[in-house]
Amino acid sequence: MNSLLLLKLFLAPLFVGLVSVIQKRWGDRIGGRLIGLPLTTGPFIFIIYFQEGGSFAARAAHGVLVGQVALIIFAWVYAFAALRTTWASALAFGTLACIASGSLLTLRQIPLMPLLMVLGLIWFFAKKYWPHYDDQPHSNEPPSWELPVRLIVTVLIILSLTGFANFLGPRAAGVLSTYPVITSVLGAFNQRRFGPNATVATLHGMLQTLPITTAIMSVLTVLL
């Protein structure tokens, strides 16, 4: 098992647990804002840089930007679906939107400037037409077993995506790498436990801080 996979298996559950605790104390949108920061992608680029060199790390940072387009589409579709249907259906709609956009975006290498233009337009559109929701704090206390289950589900999703990518080849790896594991786990559990408004608030918070990650990855793509 390579070090990048080990890092995923360590950081993703850790981040899910951290955001879950923060959301419980300070609200869903605050927790969502953490998801938009490069707290997981940053360490990945750091390790890739020392393992594979600057050129490879620059391509990986470019890949993060591609993944952000799919992430925004996932979040926007998921948010609208969450307010109208069950958590399972909303997750399914978001996943299909993510896979479709990821497949389209990985058909060929997109230069940085056109990619940033597409990313900016989609971010602006999603922010402008974000669905209305009630951001009032919820009082439901999750059972003690729920947090460990969230962490286990996160690990299982990562292992499943990695296994499918290795089995289906590099094309599938590119598509599956755009799937937002942390966002999907937090969104599904929040909607199931606290209702759709909790999920929509989390995704909205993520959208608000995502430009920070975009700026950092853009600089790394150019400088590395």
Q: What is the pLDDT of residues 17-40, one digit of tens each?
A: 888 888 878 888 888 888 888 877
pLDDT at 128: 94
Q: pTM higher than 0.85 for the full model? A: yes
Q: What is the pLDDT of residue 26?
A: 82
Distance (Å, rounded) from C-alpha 123 to C-alpha 34? 17
Instruction: Tell which residue, 58, 43, 60, 53, has the closest CA to residue 221.
Output: 58
As for how many domains the chain has, the answer is 1
Ranges of the chain with pLDDT below 70: 1-4, 136-142, 165-166, 168-175
Domain containing residue 215: 3-223
For residue 153, the Cα-to-chain-centroid distance in whole angstroms is: 15
Tell me how long the chain is.
Answer: 224
Structure tokens at 202: 């989390």
Q: Report pLDDT for 113.
A: 93
